Amino acid sequence: MKWIIEFLLSSLGKKLIMSLTGLFLCLFLVVHMLGNLQLFLPSPEGMPEGYVFNMYAYHMTHSSLIKIISYGNYFFILLHALQGILITVYNRKAKGGKYQGKGVSDTAAKMASRNMIFLGVLLLAFIGLHMYQFWAQMHFNSEMPVMAGIIEDGEEVKDLFAIVSVAFKQPWVVIVYLISLLALALHLVHGFWSAFQTMGLSNNKYGPIIRFVAMAYAILIPLGFATMPIVFFLFY
Amino acid sequence: MAHENIKVNLYVWRQNGPNDPNAGIKVYSDLEINTHMSFLEMLDVLNTHIIENKDKYPEGPVAFEHDCREGICGACSLVINGRPHGPMQGTTTCQLHMRHFNNGDNIYIEPFKAKAFPMIKDLVVDRSSFDKIIQAGGYISVNTGGTPDGNAVPVPQDVSSEAMDAAACIGCGACVAACPNASAMLFTSAKVSHLGLLPQGKTEAAIRVKRMVSQMDNEGFGLCSNVGACEADCPKEISINNIARMNRAYISSTFTNDH
């Protein structure tokens, strides 16, 4: 057992934790985005607006499998954040100060890679807001609106669609979401590639492919999420 | 090429010993230098000027490291205008020439900054943490006895080139100085790759990577965040592919060995 602890506490082990938790969260983002895009699906004949999305939300909150995965997800978010903060603090100490000369190498060292902690803390704050706005309402708000006349397994189905459409009618919410999604894009473009580099999977052959996929992923995922506040703000 | 003299203003980090409370940038204005000089020759001129005007400069000459002055030994260091070894790609400080600077330029000259490179004096830092990483695993086993046949061990050309690219590392520490985390991953991975790729170095490959990484951690270097500043500022242009290779070797050595 000692070797596992030694490995996890080594510099490379610590980085591998960042890498694997980060990739799990990348996978989560895909599922989360696809699930939430159901906001745009038309309701079946005679059903209220947002029926498909609300039924999806109902089943997500009533499945024990999803419950286990979601606890894993919260844990990985916290682990990723905590580990990231600890590493940053350690690294700042290891550096021992900045240079007064202002030149920065121009061939590499993109802005995102140097600001992962800043972007990460911003995203953590956003996750807090986001969960308060929707997750907490779904779980703890006793006055949550329900879909009129829809009963599933003898229970009323909560109208999360209504909460979403009200939230995204407020300009500040839309602006905060779009800024956070931009931060997400920057965090992902470095993080996605970086995860593979840390696992040792990047080389001359795979490196360019991983960078391309990272770029595509970092554009498509935030863009997919951004459609929701934008479309709701403009058209609903 | 024109023989030209220019005047530069030097902003030099002065520090009289590891714990000098008055450490900081001191400005030496209007130093006249020839554009054919190397950066270190320019510092020689500065020091001559300081020594000749002892009364004006009680702090004495600037301490800096140098040895071969032809870009192969790794002794020279310096962060010039915020970049280790200055602004030129793939160039050591000793091979950087003053023709790349303009008349009236302000040039910041600072020591490499990292906790694992403790300050000695002015621009000189103690880079022996690199030696300790080498001592931890930078060796190979050889048979005793008669001189071996030079061609007894076949080495494929592409492997030899790859190992040679990694072996180009002169151990100057610019990677650590460039890294926002003061990580020594590029140096360590270059050494691990250089020895581990070649058949002669395979015997210790698995244990070498563990020992060298563990020594690197003990020296207090930061953790790599894959920024790539090391690769950009490395005077020998060592690729960060070596870092991925070392990560791979470390993970596989941890999980596939029985010890």
Name the residue in chain A with its Cα closest to that of B189. A200
Can you give the pLDDT at residue B259? Answer: 65
CB B77 within 8 A of CB B84: yes
Cross-chain Cβ contact A107/B89 below 8 Å? yes
- Quote the pTM value: 0.93
Neighboring chain A residues of B89 at a CB cutoff of 8 Å = 107
Q: How confident is the model at residue A109 (pLDDT cuts 50, 70, 90)?
A: low
> Which residues contact residue A99 at a Cβ distance below 8 angstroms, ignoring those fewer than 6 apart?
B79, B82, B108, B110, B113
Neighboring chain B residues of A198 at a CB cutoff of 8 Å = 224, 226, 247
* pLDDT tens digit sequence for A58-73: 999 999 999 999 999 9
Can you give the pLDDT at residue B3? Answer: 63
Out of A16, A190, A200, the one facing B245 most closely (by C-beta) is A200
CATH 1.10.3470 assigned to A2-93+116-235? no
* pLDDT tens digit sequence for B64-94: 999 999 999 999 999 999 999 999 999 999 9
Q: How confident is the model at residue A112 (pLDDT cuts 50, 70, 90)?
A: confident
Please report the number of interchain residue pairs, chain A to chain B, with beta-carbon separation below 8 angstroms.
147
Cross-chain Cβ contact B87/A199 below 8 Å? no
Cross-chain Cβ contact A101/B108 below 8 Å? yes
Cross-chain Cβ contact B228/A108 below 8 Å? yes
Can you give the pLDDT at residue A208? Answer: 94
Can you give the pLDDT at residue A106? Answer: 59
| Domain parsing of chain A, residue ranges | 2-93+116-235
pLDDT tens for chain B, 259 residues long, are 456 899 999 999 999 999 999 999 999 999 999 999 999 999 999 999 999 999 999 999 999 999 999 999 999 999 999 999 999 999 999 999 999 999 999 999 999 999 999 999 999 999 999 999 999 999 998 888 888 888 888 999 999 999 999 999 999 999 999 999 999 999 999 999 999 999 999 999 999 999 999 999 999 999 999 999 999 999 999 999 999 999 999 999 999 877 6
Q: How confident is the model at residue A236 (pLDDT cuts 50, 70, 90)?
A: confident
Tokens 């500022």: give the residue.
B233
* pLDDT tens digit sequence for A176-235: 999 999 999 999 999 999 999 999 999 999 999 999 999 999 999 999 999 999 999 999
Cross-chain Cβ contact B229/A108 below 8 Å? yes
- For chain B, the first-to-last Cα distance in angstroms comes to 62
Neighboring chain A residues of B226 at a CB cutoff of 8 Å = 113, 190, 193-194, 197-198
Out of A98, A100, A103, the one facing B83 most closely (by C-beta) is A103
Instruction: Report ipTM (2 d.p.).
Output: 0.91
Tell me the mean pLDDT in the region A123-142. 94
Can you give the pLDDT at residue B2? Answer: 57
Which structural domains are found in chain B, ordered by start?
5-110 (3.10.20.30), 127-142+152-256 (1.10.1060.10)
Out of B227, B241, B252, the one facing A109 most closely (by C-beta) is B227
Cross-chain Cβ contact A194/B225 below 8 Å? yes
Tell me the mean pLDDT in the region A137-148. 89
Both tokens assigned to B160:
């030899």
Cross-chain Cβ contact B225/A116 below 8 Å? yes
What is the DSSP secondary-structure string of chain A? -HHHHHHHHSHHHHHHHHHHHHHHHHHHHHHHHHHHGGGGSPPPTTPPTTHHHHHHHHHHHT-HHHHHHHHHHHHHHHHHHHHHHHHHHHHHHHH----SS----SSS--HHHHTHHHHHHHHHHHHHHHIIIIIHHHHH-TT--EEEEEEETTEEEE-HHHHHHHHTTSHHHHHHHHHHHHHHHHHHHHHHHHHHHHHT--STTTHHHHHHHHHHHHHHHHHHHHHHHHHHHHH-
